Structure formats: structure tokens, C-alpha cells
Chain A
Amino acid sequence: QSALTQPASVSGSPGQSITISCTGTSSDVGSYNLVSWYQQYPGKAPKLMIYEVTKRPSGVSNRFSGSKSGNTASLTISGLQAEDEADYYCCSHVVSSKVFGGGTKLTVL
């Protein structure tokens, strides 16, 4: 199973909105509404931010939102804040396993 494709890096200024894309295939992202997104700070464990494409766990800011169209899922962060600077990974369920994207480093300028 090949990794999902994410941009290596994105950047934005405080207050702006950014979108991170996650492209898979009709066998993974396109087949299941089971895309999740994780935030990871350096040296720390990942944290679930979005699950089942659009759902936010309790405690996650509503500035984070998810969507999907065809084989591509997206994470949008609105009202960018300095604390959002981190690595972000998408993940899709596929058959009986999971596949992650390569990760995107978000820089807040």
C-alpha cells in the first residue's frame, strides 16, 4: 500500500487560512469516509484532530475542519495561530489496515 500524497510544507500568516491536501486512490481515500488527520509537535506523540473526514474530537478547536472530494481529502485551518505550527499527517482506512500520508510541515510566518 503506497503512502498518501501530501505537500511537504505549507505556510501562512497569523489569522489566515491554509489547506493541506491528501491525495490517495479509489482504493483508499476514495473508497472510505474514514480519513483522519493528526497533529504532531517535534518529539511529541501525534494527536487526533479530525476523524471520519469531517468530525472533530472533543476539545479540538473548531478552526480545524476536514473535507473530501473523490480521492483527495483536505484539512483546513482557519484563523491561523502560532501554536498551529506543527507537522500534520492524513491517514486513510484501507481494507483492514491504515495508510498514512508523508506529512506536511506547517509554518506560521
Chain B
Amino acid sequence: QVQLVESGGGGVQPGRSLRLSCAASGFTFSSYGMHWVRQAPGKGLEWVAVISYDGSNKYYADSVKGRFTISRDNSKNTLYLQMNSLRDEDTAVYYCAKGRTYDYVGALEYWGQGTLVTVSS
């Protein structure tokens, strides 16, 4: 069965960096696009970024463009989100999600349980 396990969350001061990881299993990781989606406490879902199956295409929400970088290591079945210049408003649970297709078009088929990032001084 598909499993997505996020890690790397925690408390961090504004302006600092954090790297999230998402370990995937139960499917051919290298064949699917992967997404990051976040949810601020008590708020709705916000799409953050997507990477195509081979890492050749990456797209970001305007709110994180230039600060966050999505990447993947298909040899390790792992998705990453490098978050730099963190702001208070980046506080959220971050979910990784498997796309239904190889690119960035498909729906988000399976989701991890999320990892909490808290940005506060």
C-alpha cells in the first residue's frame, strides 16, 4: 500500500531554514509527480509546490517562490522541500502528496500524515 511519511518539521525562528523530507513506499516513486501542500492552524489547504516524475519541471505558489525549493531523489524514493527565509505565516502542517500522473496535472491521490512547522521568535 502507498505510504508517505514526512519528517523534518519543528520550531524555527523567522529568517532561518528548514528542510522537510517525505519518504515514499508502495508505488513506483520515479513514475509520479509529487506535491507539497500546507495547512495553517485552523485554516484551509494551500498548495505549495509540485515536481514532475523526473525532477525536470518544478512549480511553486507565489507565496513561496524564491524561498522554497522542491526536489526529489528517485534512488532514495524521497521528496524534499527546502524552506529558506522562513516567515511567521509559513507556520503550518506540511503534507506531501502523490500525484495521479507523471507530471503536475493529476489530482493528489495519496497524502502523508503531515509534519508541523512552527516559525516563531
A contact set with B: CB distance below 8 Å: 1, 3, 34, 36, 38, 40, 44-48, 51-52, 57, 89, 91, 93, 96-103
Please, could you name 29 A-B residue pairs with CB atoms under 8 Å apart, sorted by A?
Answer: A1-B61, A3-B44, A34-B107, A36-B107, A36-B108, A38-B45, A38-B108, A44-B113, A45-B95, A45-B112, A45-B113, A45-B114, A46-B37, A46-B108, A48-B110, A51-B109, A89-B45, A91-B107, A96-B57, A97-B50, A97-B59, A97-B60, A97-B61, A98-B50, A98-B108, A99-B47, A100-B37, A100-B45, A100-B46
Most chain A CB within 10 A, of B37, B46, B60, B112, is at: B37
What is the minimal beta-carbon distance from A8 to any residue of chain B, in angstroms?
Answer: 10
What is the minimal beta-carbon distance from B111 to any residue of chain A, in angstroms?
Answer: 4
Q: Contact residue range for chain B?
A: 20 to 34
Write the chain B residue with the least CB distance to A1.
Answer: B62
Q: Is the CB of B47 within 8 A of A98?
A: yes
Q: Is the CB of B109 within 8 A of A91?
A: no
Q: Is the CB of B35 within 8 A of A98?
A: yes
What is the minimal beta-carbon distance from A14 to any residue of chain B, in angstroms?
Answer: 26
B contact set with A: CB distance below 8 Å: 35, 37, 44-47, 50, 57, 59-62, 95, 100, 104-114
Residues of A within 8 A of B106 (CB): 51
What is the minimal beta-carbon distance from A57 to any residue of chain B, in angstroms?
Answer: 7
